[in-house]
Amino acid sequence: MNTNPFASYLTRVDSAAPLLNLSETELARLKSPDHILMQDIEVERDTGETTRLHAYRVQFNNARGPYKGGIRFHPGADLDEVKALAAAMAVKCAVVNIPMGGGKGGVQFDPKQYSPAEIDRVARAFVRAFAEHLGPESDVPAPDVYTNAHIMDTMLDEYEKIIGQSSPAMITGKTLDRGGIVGRDTATAQGGAFVLQELIPPRNTPEQPRVAIQGFGNAGATMARILADNGFKIVAISDSKGGIYSANGIDPIAVLEHKERTGVLNAKGATTITNTELLECECDILIPAALDNQLTEENAAHVKAHTILELANGPTTPEADAIFSSRAIMVIPDVLANAGGVTVSYFEWLQNKEGRTWDTSEVQTRLAEIMRTSAQAVRAMADEKKVTLREAAFLLGLRRIVDALRAPRL
């Protein structure tokens, strides 16, 4: 079974290539990062000792605009995963038709073993290492695993010290005081909800669709609340420790309050299930919102949902995709389903460049328009080419990237 995330990306590019009439040069551009930047950074610990950490930034493709993508602080992120995420960002931005490219990066260390002051020093060292490659018109980072708005503020502060002027558009995901945007924390889930409501097949969906959500972090918990508020029945929720199921429905707000008090998921009348059991439970809509490679050839035949919405990055392997296609299960792919986050990051970049502040109404209206229009375009491509939504999304995104590659440079 192939679970290498970058190999999965290459498989999907190869599948799309015959329909795109690509030259060898264009195919190579779609398969290889433009730049892999790597540097060891030195960070002073609170003890006065100095440690060296491996830092990197993968700039995958900027044919449509500045590289865009998160910075993660994590001990185990490998280059294949980061390349896959950077490539997916390029496709994702093209699918929702915003003028950004794809990038990803990070520092290999365990932030849980570092003090807040030490983490700030790591953030500043990262910016010093790569400042010449970053900027509003070249590469615009954002938060990712174990990074947050405070860290983005710190990175912006260091960048502005280096260049000697204000430059809020060089990074997104900041606090509101430093030029962040309202709605960024809920954007991934809200964008996914707009897409789901646009694409959900009405003919085999009950009046109150049953939803199972794997992952109860920010995106999963927010999605549960949004869907419950819109008449969906949440029947299963899980986090890294396990999950709960109730055919009668679960109140996600009550579950979140209980988890914040006790650290565990629980709900009145619910039974305990494993994450594996959640993927195979009785539901209409399954939403993987946690880790990659969760839906595989081992469990795809046992999934009972008729619709899968990928709020996580890369939760479905190509082998599972083939099984879902043969079973007529609709998979709404990550490059469309979770693109609300980067879309609102784009709005933040725009508001910083324009020197004005967007309000909640403007953010929500623009997000709904982009996500619904993008969902319609992917569905139209799927109908035209007689392919799955994932194949259609890759065709649409890659075609837009190739069109930009072919366009004359000014």
354 in a structural domain: no
133 in a structural domain: yes
- As a whole number, the mean pLDDT across the chain is 94
Which residue range forms the structural domain that includes residue 154?
Answer: 5-11+21-182
- Whether residues 229 and 244 share a domain: the answer is yes
pTM (global) more than 0.85: yes
pLDDT-derived band at 410 (thresholds 50, 70, 90) equals: low
Coil vs helix vs strand at 228 = helix
- Whether residues 175 and 194 share a domain: the answer is no
Residue finishing a domain among 337, 354, 383: 337
| pLDDT at 240 (0 to 100) | 87
| pLDDT at 204 (0 to 100) | 65
25 in a structural domain: yes
- Whether residues 328 and 308 share a domain: the answer is yes
Order across the sheet with 330-332: list the strands: 271-273, 242-245, 233-239, 210-214, 285-288, 307-309, 330-332
pLDDT at residue 78 greater than cutoff 90:
no
135 in a structural domain: yes
Q: What is the rounded average pLDDT of the residues 5-25? A: 88
Which residues does the annotation mark as catalytic? Answer: 104
Q: What is the rounded average pLDDT of the residues 27-43? A: 95
Cβ neighbour number for residue 151 with a 10 Å cutoff: 25
pLDDT at residue 40 greater than cutoff 60:
yes
311 in a structural domain: yes
- Whether residues 223 and 239 share a domain: the answer is yes
Which of 198-207, 230-239, 340-349 shows the lowest mean pLDDT across its residues? Answer: 198-207
Q: The CATH number of the domain where 134 resides is what?
A: 3.40.50.10860
Q: Which of 363, 4, 386, 409 has the alpha carbon at shortest distance from 181?
A: 363
| pLDDT at 116 (0 to 100) | 97
408 in a structural domain: no
- Whether residues 94 and 206 share a domain: the answer is no
| pLDDT at 265 (0 to 100) | 92
How many domains does the chain fold into?
Answer: 2
Q: What is the rounded average pLDDT of the residues 321-331? A: 96
- Whether residues 176 and 212 share a domain: the answer is no
Q: Percent of the chain having pLDDT more than 90?
A: 84
16 in a structural domain: no
- Whether residues 115 and 251 share a domain: the answer is no
160 in a structural domain: yes
Residue finishing a domain among 182, 213, 232: 182
Cβ-count burial of 262 within 10 angstroms (0-12 exposed, 13-18 middle, 19+ buried)?
A: exposed
pLDDT in tens, 365-383: 999 999 999 999 999 999 9
- Whether residues 198 and 170 share a domain: the answer is no
Q: Percent of the chain having pLDDT more than 70?
A: 98
pLDDT in tens, 242-295: 999 999 999 999 999 999 898 889 888 899 999 999 999 999 999 999 988 899
pLDDT at residue 329 greater than cutoff 70:
yes
Q: The CATH number of the domain where 274 resides is what?
A: 3.40.50.720
- Whether residues 119 and 137 share a domain: the answer is yes
Paired tokens of 100:
């950004």
CA-to-CA separations, 320 to 11, 78, 214, 397, in angstroms, rounded:
13, 23, 17, 22
Q: What is the rounded average pLDDT of the residues 176-201? A: 96
